[in-house]
Amino acid sequence: MPTFVYMTRCDGCGHCVDICPSDIMHIDDKYRRAYNIEPNMCWECYSCVKACPHQAIDVRGYADFAPLGHSVRTIRDEEKGTIAWRVKFRDGRVKNFLSPITTQPWGTKIPDFRNEAEPSDEMRNSELLAFEPKYIRMDDGGLHTLESNKLSLKAGGEYHESL
């Protein structure tokens, strides 16, 4: 379901370019408007759709699984702290949803991790971390290096465990 841009709504601000995790939203050199340079690589995360201040980006579903004539559109209202979705089915039914996207004013509750307490031994030994790789080293050990993790560089840039 790749995104596309309504050129008449876009003002070329670049928010979608900044936020796209696949780096496929770009600004057209000629028209100074955004466009999806590689629709096949779009994983329909809707980041750009929600970030666009002009609601200029929409998502076009592939016809093999998204019924023709449907529509899923959204408006993220930052000032009010809400996101609204409007799902229109092919048969004309419409569903409207409204959810909070923040419960505190923006920028006022950014955690300062430097001042956060370190995880306790109990946390480190928790069964919740049972499947984490040992290399994350949730302990008080020294600097994480290839050597301390018994790793070495292999030709071609990959690494492997020294056994």
Measured over all CA atoms, what is the biggest interatomic distance in the chain, rounded to whole angstroms? 63
Residues 6+ apart with CB under 8 A from 52: 10, 15, 16
**Is position 90 an interface residue for another protein (rule: CB under 8 A)?**
no
Q: Which residue has the tokens 């600004």?
A: 27
- Binding segment for another protein (CB under 8 A), chosen from 84-92, 110-118, 126-134, 139-147, is 84-92
> Using the rule CB under 8 A, is 12 a contact of another protein?
yes
Contact indicator for 57, 45 with CB cutoff of 8 Å:
no
Please say which residue, 86 or 137, places its beta carbon nearer to another protein: 86
> In 3D, which of 76, 87, 32 has the Cα closest to residue 51?
76
User: Is 106 near another protein (CB under 8 A)?
Assistant: yes
Q: Which is nearer to another protein, 70 or 144 (CB)?
A: 70
Count of residues binding another protein (CB under 8 A)?
A: 52
DSSP 3-state assignment of 49?
helix
CA distance 11 to 13: 6
Q: Does 43 participate in catalysis according to the annotation?
A: yes
The one catalytic residue among 6, 31, 43, 159: 43
The residues in 121-150 that bind another protein, with binding defined as CB under 8 A, are none
Q: Give the C-alpha distances (Å, rounded to integers) separating 117 from 84, 107, 128, 144.
A: 37, 22, 19, 20
Q: Closest approach of Cβ 113 to another protein, in Å?
A: 20
Site membership for another protein, residue 111 (CB under 8 A): no
Binding of another protein by 96 (CB under 8 A): yes
> How many alpha carbons fall within 13 Å on the CB side of residue 80?
9
* Residues carrying an active site annotation: 43
Contact set with another protein (CB under 8 A): 6, 8-9, 11-15, 17-19, 23, 26-27, 29-32, 51, 53-55, 71, 73-75, 77-82, 84-86, 88, 92-107
